[in-house]
């Protein structure tokens, strides 16, 4: 139930029906016209820029056009108690008491669906996809939370979403990881010193994995590394993925699918996807120029299969084979997206780390080629997270090797704080995560402030001995909202628009921003009651105004829906 869209359509329909009266030609579109909630100081429920948009296209004075539109609306809609024109040509509206009542009842009826715009698209969101060579680090946690909340947001908005993890279990990093586990096994069993060798994984978590393998396979043959590589690799990866899955679970995240790169390779999906592109004439044998900055003496000109990526908007064509003829990582990634494209999604979303920006054009081009431009791939980059404690950068432990693990983060702050604060800024800018701020019990800590708002409302309902699941009645005869209640109501009717914009732009960070602003309005109203008796909610343990209770219930309902999308708990007491 998006009130803003509903009234925008009504107004645009009236303008279309009265084009001649407004001196508007029939072929003029009104793109860019919106209805929004005006700033608090204007004290109106809705505002539209439609007259400003039309004035530019019809060369009419915006104020004069706005007055004409105002007259037409007044004659045809009785939903407003006041309509005013404000410079330079905005039209502002205030609802009648009857409409306030109708909207409140409709929101209450919508309950846990309030805000949903009932879309019906199919999404695949691939996120985290950390190399299975150790536990998750803090950078992964931002992408993990972003992907999970984005999925929740799209599901809440009526879409079907599959959450997917792509396991990079093929290639040199797996060989290096398996060898690291092998040397740790020998270190434990034969008291050998761990070999310091380039590309090995030195973290103590590798020792834990080795210990677990020895417990399950005490008689494992550690004399011939190559002979036992397959078994050893399989077990090392299983334990490493368990570490990652446990980290994800601790963050409140679960995936629907785990897709193995190795399995795709073994099913010959790389060859099949490349052949598909060959048949379309998008792959051919050829030569690539040396990479920029590469000295000629280090560059070997080799004939290889090349994807014509520039046909689909990339800056350069891309190699599918290495110098030795084996497939590049990009070729394997094409196979994965070939698989995803075959599953009939409307949209594929890849949530990537900050170091993958340069990869977007080539994989987007590949997806276009693989799906005949039918599947839309959208890549979202999550920038770096900087941790601070006591005003200083947070130092990593030696246990994980060279990064701060998600477990270390969870030892400092709880899951709810991490999820909320990881979305406290847009994904495309760096995020400062301050442990001290997250632990504060002040309005400077956004998650505390929102949770405290819900807890205050819960305490109010407990005082009144009211079950929030009971039906709420409107006092129609004495219906009146004071200014703080009007401010809250206007913020609440903006919620579906926030959901729509967040979902359309794939920007879930708008949700915590909105919730913080709503909570701030409520706390402000609560404080007014402490300063001025006329704003007090309860007198002698009874609600002073039934309509106040309705507005407070709407605040509670909206915060509950928003925090559910974020995957954050709402304590009834704090």
Record the tokens describing residue 489, joined without a space. 């109501």
Record the tokens describing residue 212, joined without a space. 């677990």
Residue 465: inside a domain, yes or no?
A: yes
DSSP for 532-570, written as a single string: -GGG-SEETTEES-HHHHHHHHHHHHHHHHHHHHHT---
User: Residue 458 maps to which CATH number?
Assistant: 1.10.730.10
Phi, psi of 163, deg, nearest 5: -95, 125
In the DSSP assignment, the letter for residue 417 is: H
Phi, psi of 537, deg, nearest 5: -70, -45
Residue 558: inside a domain, yes or no?
A: yes
Q: How many CB atoms lie within 10 A of CB 369?
A: 24
CA 402 from chain centre, in angstroms, equals 28
Residue 196: inside a domain, yes or no?
A: no
Strands 90-95, 35-36: parallel, antiparallel or unpaired by DSSP?
A: unpaired
**pLDDT tens for each residue of the chain, 574 residues long:** 799 999 999 999 999 999 999 998 877 788 899 999 999 999 999 999 999 999 998 999 999 999 999 999 999 999 999 999 999 999 999 999 999 999 999 999 999 999 998 789 999 999 999 999 999 999 899 999 999 999 999 999 999 999 999 999 999 999 999 999 999 999 999 999 998 888 899 889 999 999 999 999 998 889 988 998 999 999 999 999 999 999 999 999 999 999 999 999 999 999 999 999 999 999 999 988 776 655 555 667 789 999 999 999 999 999 999 988 999 999 999 999 999 999 999 999 999 999 899 999 999 999 999 999 999 999 999 999 999 988 898 875 544 456 788 998 999 999 999 999 999 999 999 999 999 999 999 999 999 999 999 999 999 999 898 887 777 888 788 889 999 999 999 999 999 999 999 999 999 999 999 999 999 999 999 999 889 988 998 888 888 888 999 999 999 999 999 999 999 999 999 8
Distinct helix (H) and strand (E) counts, the chain: 20, 17
End of a domain among 95, 116, 131? 95
Q: Is 472 helix (H, G, I), strand (E, B) or coil?
A: coil
CA 67 from chain centre, in angstroms, equals 41
Record the tokens describing residue 473, joined without a space. 């009645």
Phi, psi of 513, deg, nearest 5: -60, -50
User: Residue 49 maps to which CATH number?
Assistant: 3.30.1360.70
Helix (H) or strand (E) holding 433: strand 431-434
Distances (CA, A) of 146 to 7, 251, 281, 351, 440: 32, 12, 37, 8, 23
Phi, psi of 307, deg, nearest 5: -85, 130
Distances (CA, A) of 81 to 46, 92, 164, 276: 12, 11, 51, 63
Residue 523: inside a domain, yes or no?
A: yes
pTM of the shown model: 0.94
End of a domain among 38, 60, 95? 95
> Are 403 and 131 within 8 A, CB to CB?
no
Output the CA torsion 348→354→360→362 (10° steps).
-130
Upper half-sphere CA count for residue 393 (Cβ side, 13 Å): 7
Record the tokens describing residue 562, joined without a space. 């928003």
Report d(CA 155, CA 123) in Å as an integer: 9
Residue 183: inside a domain, yes or no?
A: no
Q: Could you tell me which of 502, 497, 517 has the C-alpha nearest to residue 450?
A: 517
> Are 494 and 35 within 8 A, CB to CB?
no
Phi, psi of 536, deg, nearest 5: -75, 135
Report d(CA 1, CA 529) in Å as an integer: 32
One-letter-per-residue 3-state SS of 310-345: HHHCCCCCEECECCCCCECHHHHHHHHHHHHHCCCC
Residue 89: inside a domain, yes or no?
A: yes
> Are 284 and 305 within 8 A, CB to CB?
yes
> Are 58 and 24 within 8 A, CB to CB?
yes
Residue 482: inside a domain, yes or no?
A: yes
Record the tokens describing residue 136, joined without a space. 């998750």
Report d(CA 30, CA 12) in Å as an integer: 8
**End-to-end alpha carbon distance in the chain:** 32
Record the tokens describing residue 66, joined without a space. 């706005």
Residue 325: inside a domain, yes or no?
A: no
Report d(CA 429, CA 357) in Å as an integer: 13
Residue appearing with tokens 């019809």? 58
379 Cβ partners below 8 Å, 6+ apart? Answer: 349, 350, 351, 352, 356, 359, 360, 363, 364
Per the structure, the count of domains in the chain is 2
End of a domain among 95, 121, 139? 95
Phi, psi of 126, deg, nearest 5: -100, 120
Output the CA torsion 350→338→333→245 (10° steps).
60
**Full domain range(s) for residue 562:** 446-566
Q: Could you tell me which of 449, 451, 535 has the C-alpha nearest to residue 485?
A: 535
């Amino acid at each position: 139930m998006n009130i803003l869209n509903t009234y925008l359509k009504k107004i645009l329909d009236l303008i279309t029906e009265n084009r001649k009266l407004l001196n508007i030609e029939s072929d003029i579109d009104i793109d860019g016209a919106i209805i929004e909630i005006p700033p608090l100081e204007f004290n109106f429920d809705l505002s539209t820029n439609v007259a400003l948009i039309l004035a530019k296209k019809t060369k009419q004075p915006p104020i004069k056009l706005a007055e004409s539109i105002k007259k037409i609306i007044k004659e045809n809609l009785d939903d407003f108690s006041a309509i005013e024109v404000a410079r330079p040509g905005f039209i502002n509206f205030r609802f009648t008491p009857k409409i306030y009542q109708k909207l409140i009842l409709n929101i209450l009826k919508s309950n846990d669906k309030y805000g949903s715009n009932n879309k019906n698209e199919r999404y695949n969101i691939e996120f985290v996809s950390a190399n299975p060579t150790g536990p998750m680090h803090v950078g992964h946690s931002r992408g993990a939370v972003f992907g999970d909340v984005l999925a929740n947001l799209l599901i809440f908005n009526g879409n079907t979403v599959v959450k997917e993890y792509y396991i990079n279990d093929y290639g040199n990093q797996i060989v290096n990881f398996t060898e690291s586990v092998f040397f740790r096994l020998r270190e434990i069993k034969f008291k050998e010193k761990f070999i310091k060798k380039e590309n090995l994984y030195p973290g103590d978590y590798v020792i834990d994995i080795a210990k677990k393998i020895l417990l399950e396979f005490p008689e494992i043959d550690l004399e011939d590394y190559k002979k036992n590589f397959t078994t050893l690799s399989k077990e090392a990866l299983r334990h490493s993925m368990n570490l990652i899955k446990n980290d994800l679970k601790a963050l409140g995240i679960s995936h629907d699918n785990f897709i193995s790169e190795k399995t795709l390779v073994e099913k010959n999906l790389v060859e099949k996807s490349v052949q598909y592109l060959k048949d379309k004439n998008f792959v051919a044998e050829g030569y690539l120029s040396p990479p920029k900055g590469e000295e000629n003496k280090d560059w070997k000109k080799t004939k290889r299969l090349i994807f014509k990526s520039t046909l689909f908007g990339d800056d350069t064509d891309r190699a599918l084979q290495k110098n030795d003829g084996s497939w590049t990582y990009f070729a394997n990634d094409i196979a994965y997206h070939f698989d995803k494209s075959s599953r009939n999604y409307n949209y594929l979303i890849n949530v990537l780390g900050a170091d993958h920006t340069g990869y977007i054009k080539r994989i987007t081009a590949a997806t276009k080629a693989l799906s005949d431009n039918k599947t839309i791939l959208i890549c979202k980059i999550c920038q770096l997270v900087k941790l601070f404690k006591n005003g200083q950068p947070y130092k990593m432990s030696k246990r994980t090797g060279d990064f701060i693990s998600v477990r270390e983060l969870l030892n400092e702050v709880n899951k709810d704080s991490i999820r909320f604060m990881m979305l406290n800024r847009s994904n495309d800018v760096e995020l400062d995560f301050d442990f001290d701020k997250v632990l504060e019990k002040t309005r400077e800590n956004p998650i505390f402030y929102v949770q405290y708002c819900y807890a205050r409302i819960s305490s109010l309902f407990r005082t009144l001995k009211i079950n929030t699941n009971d039906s709420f009645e409107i006092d129609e005869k004495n219906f009146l909202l004071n200014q703080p209640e009007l401010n809250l109501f206007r913020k609440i009717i903006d919620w579906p628009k926030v959901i729509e914009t967040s979902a359309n732009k794939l920007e879930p960070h708008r949700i915590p921003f909105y919730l913080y602003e709503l909570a701030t309005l409520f706390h402000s109203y609560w404080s007014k009651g402490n300063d001025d008796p006329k704003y007090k909610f309860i007198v002698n343990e009874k609600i002073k105004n039934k309509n106040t209770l309705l507005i407070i219930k709407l605040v509670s309902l909206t915060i509950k829906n928003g925090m559910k999308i974020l995957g954050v708990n709402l304590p009834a007491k704090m």
